[in-house]
Amino acid sequence: MPNFVYFLIAGAFGSLAKDIVQDNKLVLPNKVDNELVLGFIGSMIVGAFVGWAVDSSPLTALLSGYVGASAIKHLLPSQNNK
């Protein structure tokens, strides 16, 4: 099995843990007003990529899956249309 699969699984565990701890529910992908909301899949992809790119560690992938989407959301500028 390729190494990236291990990072994807570790990122998925981190993402699932974040959704369950933070929201007390699992957010599945859905479509809202012609936009695709990825739910836990977005954090899983971020966690897998960071774990692979930074130091090739499944532990980094797990932790990045937990905090990855939140960190990206807070680093990017917000769009306030008022």
pLDDT given at position 41: 85
pLDDT given at position 1: 62
For 24-67, what is each residue's pLDDT tens digit? 888 888 898 999 988 888 888 888 888 888 888 888 888 888 88
The one-character DSSP state at 24 is S
pTM, whole model, 2 decimals?
Answer: 0.75
Q: How many angstroms separate the CA atoms of 66 and 63, rounded?
A: 5
- Secondary structure of residue 69 in the 3-state scheme: helix
